[in-house]
Amino acid sequence: MTSRITLKKIATEFNISIATVSKALNNSPDISSKTKEKIQEYAKKHHYKPNKAALSLLNKKTKTLGVIIPNIMNSFFTEVFVGIEEKASQLGYSLISCISNESYDKEVNTVELLKSGTIDGFIVSIAEETQINKNFNHFIEAINEGVPIVLFDRITDAINCDKVIVNDIEGARHATEHLIKTGCKKIALVSVIDTLSVGKLRVEGYKKALTDHNIAINEKIIVRLNKKEDLETSMKIILSDKSIDGLLCLEESSAIQSLQLIKSMNYKIPEEMSIICFTNGKLPQHVTPAITTISQHGKYIGEVATKMLVDRLEGKSELEFTTKIIKTSLIERETTFPLK
Amino acid sequence: MTSRITLKKIATEFNISIATVSKALNNSPDISSKTKEKIQEYAKKHHYKPNKAALSLLNKKTKTLGVIIPNIMNSFFTEVFVGIEEKASQLGYSLISCISNESYDKEVNTVELLKSGTIDGFIVSIAEETQINKNFNHFIEAINEGVPIVLFDRITDAINCDKVIVNDIEGARHATEHLIKTGCKKIALVSVIDTLSVGKLRVEGYKKALTDHNIAINEKIIVRLNKKEDLETSMKIILSDKSIDGLLCLEESSAIQSLQLIKSMNYKIPEEMSIICFTNGKLPQHVTPAITTISQHGKYIGEVATKMLVDRLEGKSELEFTTKIIKTSLIERETTFPLK
DNA sequence: TTGAAAGCGCTAACAT
DNA sequence: ATGTTAGCGCTTTCAA
């Protein structure tokens, strides 16, 4: 931050009052067009820009949005971020962005830091730790203090606010059904995100599809791991059951790992093993064979969330909070048979 | 932004002056410990946080850094961003982040928007359009107005400021030499970033390695394309020369595409074709066969750049600007033979 | 048509 | 030990 030209300096220059300069630059009808002209010209020449801090203080608005994302190395969140960025800049808002790194403490600190006069509202996807310990007070307090929040993807009923989510149940159900319809008889599930709201919902969708098709749910072939556990070993145990011929992975990284393993075990894909995973990033697309994915349309989610927050800030929303549900799409690739 | 509790309200509550409250909360020795105690307790109970806008206005400091990145979907920049984020938050700074999307106009707008009181300094990697049109006035003006900039990766001599770069020449030279030493006789180069400073330097390094090893430079097997051109066609033309047995790709995406093509042409890798590419992202790691890469240590670059900027802001730097050069590393994988 | 004054929330120099 | 005042840069009554 710097000592740029101010209204005061311009006023001194022309020997007029600060108020006149302010009005002239804001094109007030009060001021004679002659005065306006010369002041505007001078201001332009000297690159006058109103000081944001002063405006924030005055208006109690910063035109800045706080974005809290759990992990930017995750392609879904990167995509959402792109959407947020594009929409925000289009609507005239800046972004303060933080990576919670899945940490509850970092999330709390960030909220504390930003809510007091730095930003007008938050766009948040909840950190894993927070989804586990279920302590959402930092968010609830922010809302009570008048800082609106839009939650996306990882949400909770405990916070009453606007939300944007994907239909995780339906996405998983549809994917599982696709596996069934393309001939899979025994479908395993791999989740390294069972601590997350979205993880639980996706399991639900998987079970629903099985039930719909009169297939018994077998908890033994539902692999739930935390990130530190050894995926490879667990997968090897599961895959010792050679009748398993379908795999639903709830996110990208475990899908990539499983694929490597399955290839190394010389399965024919998709003949002997079909695979579908959540999140349509570059990785599943470029791996060999390319993985059939469920796209959550991350960029669109970001755009919608931003629009919702700005509408709320500018008083254009209903009083009631709403939850927007974005439809997922199945992107068929080489790890599944085409539907006949 | 919201109407939170202020010094004034606390002052009214206790029937004392605002100044006393301010001093009490700042633990000034002026104030009696009894008063301090009761005020601090009250403040804590009511979650008092000083208003950032007011502090910015007063101190002419925002404790916020502006980050301008050309494209967040590029894994190198994502990594750098992680490093910036971590370091900034550790040093007590927030981040305002913008994606220039390789656009000159967006870059100019962002700089204009942020430099007047929103941020204390910039961390920037220059947009492609700007590197082409060579119009760096927006940055130079910002610096002249007292807003320091640290440039990373994509830099220019035209801006006098602190910089963090990778030794692109040496990285490319080393990679090329590695190809030579592992038996490649004719090494082609693919660049879709020849408009960028880093692209040009990498070509230089490639040529240097060839010259060092007495191999004639053949401009015909140096493929320079812009992003819209058809890589596949150009590659097919190049690969009709069956004596080419090595490939250096200057970034990730063209490497992935080339690999697909080369595989589809039934080359044996690395026997008939060795490949190395810049940027050690997840993609080259997980593709089959996994690609040998040159790591630029993105996260570290981000950390260093942030430290440099904060040091400059806090008056801890030399007056002279410095350029830090981060060493690249070659990560050997399946697309090259091991060095004997 | 222009200007004076107040105030956004805070700190610091200077009284009391 | 506590209070008064001024001022950071700006806008907005209200007065001239």
pLDDT tens track for B239-271: 999 999 999 999 999 999 999 999 999 999 999
A78/B78 touch (CB, cutoff 8 Å), yes or no: yes
User: Confidence class of residue A172 from pLDDT cuts 50, 70 and 90?
Assistant: very high
Closest C-alpha among A328, A332, A290, A184 to residue A247: A184
Residue A142 near residue B47 (C-beta atoms within 8 A): no
Looking at every residue in chain B, the average pLDDT score rounds to: 94
Q: Write the CB contacts of A110 (distance below 8 Å, at least 6 apart in sequence).
A: A66, A68, A98, A100
- Show the tokens assigned to B218: 């053949």
User: Confidence class of residue B339 from pLDDT cuts 50, 70 and 90?
Assistant: confident
Any A CB within 8 A of B215 CB: no
Residue B273 near residue B262 (C-beta atoms within 8 A): yes
User: Confidence class of residue A1 from pLDDT cuts 50, 70 and 90?
Assistant: low
Q: CA of B89, closest CA in chain A: separation in Å?
A: 9
In this predicted structure, the answer to whether residue A130 has a pLDDT above a threshold of 60 is yes
Other beta carbons less than 10 A from residue B82's beta carbon: 19
pTM for the complete prediction? Answer: 0.93
pLDDT tens, B125-152? 999 999 999 999 999 999 988 899 999 9
Residue B116: the pLDDT is 79
To probe the interface with B, which of A62, A286, A287, A313 has the most B CB atoms within 10 Å? A286
B263/A94 touch (CB, cutoff 8 Å), yes or no: no
Other beta carbons less than 10 A from residue B145's beta carbon: 16
Q: What is the dihedral of CA B282, B285, B287, B290, to 10 degrees?
A: 170
Residue A2: the pLDDT is 55
Tokens 């080393």: give the residue. B174
Protein residue closest to C10, using CA and C1': B54
The 3-state DSSP class for residue A83 equals helix
B2/A118 touch (CB, cutoff 8 Å), yes or no: no
Residue A334: the pLDDT is 97
What whole-number distance in Å separates Cα of residue A168 and Cα of residue A164?
A: 12
To probe the interface with A, which of B85, B279, B286 has the most A CB atoms within 10 Å? B286
* Rounded CA–C1' distance between B97 and C6, in angstroms: 36
Omega before B50 within 30 of 0, i.e. cis: no
pLDDT above 70 as % of chain A: 99
Q: How far is the CA of B95 from the CAs of A8, A57, A98, A272, A306, in angstroms? A: 30, 20, 7, 49, 18
Any B CB within 8 A of A56 CB: yes
Q: CA of A51, closest CA in chain B: separation in Å?
A: 5
What whole-number distance in Å separates Cα of residue B158 and Cα of residue B137?
A: 9
Higher pLDDT, B339 or A136: A136
User: Confidence class of residue A186 from pLDDT cuts 50, 70 and 90?
Assistant: very high
- Judge if the beta carbon of A216 is closer than 7 A to nucleic acid strand D: no
Residue A253 CA from chain centroid, whole number: 17
Which residues 150-209 in chain B show a CB within 8 A of chain A? Answer: none
B17-41 burial, b at 16+ Cβ within 10 Å, e below that, comes to eeebbbbbbeeeeebeeebbeebbe
Phi, psi torsion values for B190, nearest 5 degrees? -120, 120
Residue A230 carries which side chain, given as an amino acid letter?
D
What whole-number distance in Å separates Cα of residue A198 and Cα of residue B259?
A: 35
What is the average per-residue pLDDT within A209-225? 97
- Show the tokens assigned to B172: 């490319």
Residue A43 near residue A25 (C-beta atoms within 8 A): yes
Q: Write the CB contacts of A91 (distance below 8 Å, at least 6 apart in sequence).
A: A306, A307, A310
Detail the DSSP E strand segments found in chain A.
64-69, 94-99, 121-124, 149-152, 162-166, 187-191, 222-224, 246-249, 274-278, 292-295, 323-326, 329-331
Residue B92: the pLDDT is 92
Least confident of B45-54, B79-88, B184-193: B45-54
- Give chain B positions within 8 Å (CB) of A52: 56, 116-118
What whole-number distance in Å separates Cα of residue A86 and Cα of residue B31?
A: 50
Residue B328 near residue B296 (C-beta atoms within 8 A): yes
User: Confidence class of residue B1 from pLDDT cuts 50, 70 and 90?
Assistant: low
Least confident of A103-112, A228-237, A307-316, B191-200: A228-237
Q: Which residue of A has its CA nearest to B70?
A: A82
What whole-number distance in Å separates Cα of residue A94 and Cα of residue A311?
A: 15
Residue A298: the pLDDT is 98
Tokens 């130079």: give the residue. B140
Residue A292: the pLDDT is 98
Alpha helix stretches (DSSP H) within B70-196: 75-90, 104-115, 128-133, 137-144, 168-181
pLDDT tens, B31-69? 988 999 999 999 999 989 899 999 999 999 999 999 999
The 3-state DSSP class for residue B120 equals coil
- Show the tokens assigned to A201: 């919902």
Which phi-psi region, left, alpha or beta, contains residue A148 (left: φ > 0; alpha: ψ -120 to 50)? beta
Residue B65 near residue B98 (C-beta atoms within 8 A): no
* Rounded CA–C1' distance between A212 and C13, in angstroms: 77
* Rounded CA–C1' distance between B26 and C11, in angstroms: 10
Any A CB within 8 A of B90 CB: no
Q: CA of A209, closest CA in chain B: separation in Å?
A: 31
| Closest nt by CA–C1' to A19 | C3
Other beta carbons less than 10 A from residue A258's beta carbon: 25
What is the average per-residue pLDDT within A249-278? 96
Residue B194 carries which side chain, given as an amino acid letter?
D
What whole-number distance in Å separates Cα of residue B330 and Cα of residue B170?
A: 11
* Rounded CA–C1' distance between B12 and D3, in angstroms: 14
Residue A3: the pLDDT is 61
Residue A4: the pLDDT is 77
pLDDT tens, A146-168? 899 999 999 999 999 999 999 99
User: Confidence class of residue B184 from pLDDT cuts 50, 70 and 90?
Assistant: very high
Residue B204: the pLDDT is 98
